[in-house]
Structure formats: C-alpha cells, structure tokens
Amino acid sequence: MKGYVTNIERATLENDSYRKVLYTGKNSQLVLMTIQPGDEIGRETHDLDQFIRLEAGEALVTLDGVEHRIEDDWAVVIPAGTEHNVVNTGKEPLRLYSIYSPPEHKDGTLHATKADDAEEHFDGVTTE
C-alpha cells in the first residue's frame, strides 16, 4: 500500500479513543482524537506544524494566548512553535482529526483514554 484512503468523517465520528494514529508517513501523520466533555489536550508546543478539524462538538482553542470558540466543521492550523490547547466546552465528546507534519507520535499509537496518554514520540517507523 502506498498512502492511506478512508472516509475521514466516518472514522472520526466512530472513534471513541482519546488518541488513535491511523497512518504515519515519512513527512506527515493522520491521528484521530476524542476528548470528553470538560477535558482538554493540555497546553503544549510542538516543533512541527499541526492541522486540526473538528467533526463533532464545541471547543475553546487557544493559540499563543488568543482564544477561539469553534465547533464542528471548523479547522485550526497550528504552526510550529505555537503554544496551544484544545478544551471540550460542550456536553458531548469532541471528535477531531489532526495531521502532524512531520509525524509526532509512534505509528500505531492507541490511547483509549486521556489517562493512557504516554509520551510516545515518533521513532522514525512509518506505516509502510
């Protein structure tokens, strides 16, 4: 297989895991996330670019101290070096997908809940 094809909306809406890496290429990575009501990713800064698209829910996204209220069908581009956080402000799970460029997590990473979240940074191994 060269590349990855999926119905991203369906995959995102059906995902119940906090983090699920779907595909890791040499230069980018596709990850699903589900954040429970009142929960958050937590403030972080990456040395890479990140794209997030919400498929369901409401969130408060903070980029270098500037807050943005967003909901399903909104996208966020987070340039490398930007401190950011995503907080689920709704009453339902927040479902999103993210594209990291280059990859951020080990291929195949699966965290069922936020409590399972462990530092599993990309180790150079791709899906193919």
- pLDDT greater than 90 at residue 115: no
Predicted confidence at residue 26, as pLDDT, reads 95
- Written as six digits, the tokens of 1 are 């297989």
Q: Are 4 and 23 in contact (CB under 8 A)?
A: yes
- Written as six digits, the tokens of 2 are 């060269």
How many angstroms from the chain centroid is the CA of residue 12? 10
**Helix spans in the chain (H):** 8-14
Query: Cis before residue 102, ω within 30 degrees of 0?
Result: yes
CA–CA dist 124, 76 (Å, integer): 26
Lowest mean pLDDT among 13-17, 91-95, 111-115, 124-128: 111-115
Predicted confidence at residue 3, as pLDDT, reads 93
Predicted confidence at residue 1, as pLDDT, reads 66
65-102 residue pLDDT tens: 999 999 999 999 999 999 999 999 999 999 999 999 99
